[in-house]
Amino acid sequence: MKDQYNPRLLTVVCAVAVLGAVFVMSVSVAHAQQQNGARLHSITTISSTIPSNGDINPYGVFRIPRTVGNLTRGNILVSNFNNSNNLQGTGTTLVQISPNGNFSLFAQIDPSTLPGPCPGGVGLTTALVVLRSGWVIVGSLPTTDGMPDTAQAGCLIVLDSNGNVVETITDAQINGPWDMTVFDASGGEGDRHREAVLFVTNVLNGTVAGGGQIVNEGTVLRIVLSVSSEDAPTVKSLTVIGSTFPERTDPNALVIGPTGVALSKNNKLLYMADSLNNRIAAIANPLTRQSSDLTGSTLSVGGSLNDPLGLTLAVNGDILTANGNDGNLVVTRPNGTQIDTIVARHNPKRTRSSAYSRVR
């Protein structure tokens, strides 16, 4: 379920970690505009992402689909991964930012009062979605000191539309949830019980033990949720649909592995940023398959890709991928052809969320 956008212009929200700010980048992605040479590559700062407790390093970025509770349609929800001491895997806050830059704290999560297990505590990752029914789901990959050797499995944390934590989702296969997208059928008119399907990448399967060496154990999970407007979501099924992705710990990025995910327009492919292989992978039949597609097929590799991290879909079906090593945004056709590279003017050295983008 997606809101409709002007097919001739896509507005991408980019979270720039080093500066702790949200930027708006206007990117022309429609074929007609590209043919006419009308390429708008401007970046404008609209807000800081730093709340009063000093959390920095904005990771998850999601456009709120509906006004429910304290969530406002069209605003951007952002999760912070670092605390005020710049320790990775210790951020506990979600902030909400309007298109004109109005800033508010949506939630500050206390690891000591979680309503369920979350191995290691709270360190909010890029795995962030807002359901149409108003539930917020965010990944946690916690550390005690910001270093990879203290990273633990974490969980998915569920909040209501007012920012209250209502439950945690844990499973042996949820191990370092790093990124996430959703196929959302919740919040339908006249039907208070619907489903939402999460697609979650995991990067802690063997990475800590690997001590910086590449291990081929990264996974992609499909988690089907039963969703009610009144009761917290419940897990109906959990299936591994992608596996053996390369991953490793990293002193600067904490962990590098399978990251940004997005469904194709026809929902028949799940695109994924395979960072260490410098490619965009595609997993077939993500909504229905009952077994792993392993590392999927290669949609695009190399070229302007430079450690692809953030990944989202343009309204015309093109894939937008944000690079971790140079902050640039790469536009790729569904056939794998890279057609444009938008050079980031704000270009910090590699931090995992240096130019992460999502639009729903």
- We report the CATH number of the domain holding residue 142 as 2.120.10
The whole-model pTM stands at: 0.88
Q: Which domain holds residue 260?
A: 50-314
Paired tokens of 343: 């050079």
Q: How many whole angstroms separate alpha carbon 295 and alpha carbon 244?
A: 6
pLDDT at 189: 60
In a domain, 77, yes or no: yes
Q: How many whole angstroms separate alpha carbon 308 and alpha carbon 191?
A: 38
Paired tokens of 233: 């979501």
In a domain, 172, yes or no: yes
In a domain, 343, yes or no: no
Contact between 120 and 142 (Cβ < 8 Å): yes
Paired tokens of 87: 């320790």
Query: What is the Cα gyration radius of the chain?
Result: 18
Burial 293-322, CB ≥16 within 10 A → b, else e = bebbeebbeeebbbbbbbbbbbbbebbbbb
Domain count along the chain: 1
pLDDT at 237: 97
H or E element, residue 31? helix 31-36
In a domain, 45, yes or no: no
Beta partners for residue 184, in sequence order: 196
Helices (H), 176-328: 207-210
Instruction: Name the strands in the sheet holding 21-27, side by side, starting at the edge strand that comes first in the sequence.
Output: 42-48, 21-27, 10-16, 356-358
* 3-state SS string for 57-97: EEEEEEECCCCECCECCCCEEEEEEECCCCCECCCCEEEEE
Q: Could you read off the pLDDT of 43-69 as tens digits, one per residue? A: 778 899 999 999 999 999 999 999 999
pLDDT at 347: 42
Low-confidence stretches of the chain (pLDDT beneath 70)? 1-42, 188-193, 344-360
Instruction: Specify the DSSP class assigned to residue 195.
Output: E
Q: For residue 93, count CB atoms less than 10 angstroms from its CB and return exposed for 0-12, middle for 13-18, buried for 19 or more.
A: buried
Contact between 222 and 241 (Cβ < 8 Å): yes
In a domain, 214, yes or no: yes
In a domain, 297, yes or no: yes
pLDDT at 276: 97
Burial 245-261, CB ≥16 within 10 A → b, else e = bbbbbbeebbbbbbbbb
Q: For residue 76, count CB atoms less than 10 angstroms from its CB and return exposed for 0-12, middle for 13-18, buried for 19 or more.
A: buried
In a domain, 88, yes or no: yes
Closest among 249, 197, 235, 241 to 219, alpha carbons compared: 241
pLDDT at 303: 97
pLDDT at 21: 63
Burial 50-64, CB ≥16 within 10 A → b, else e = bbeeebbbbbbbbbb
In a domain, 31, yes or no: no
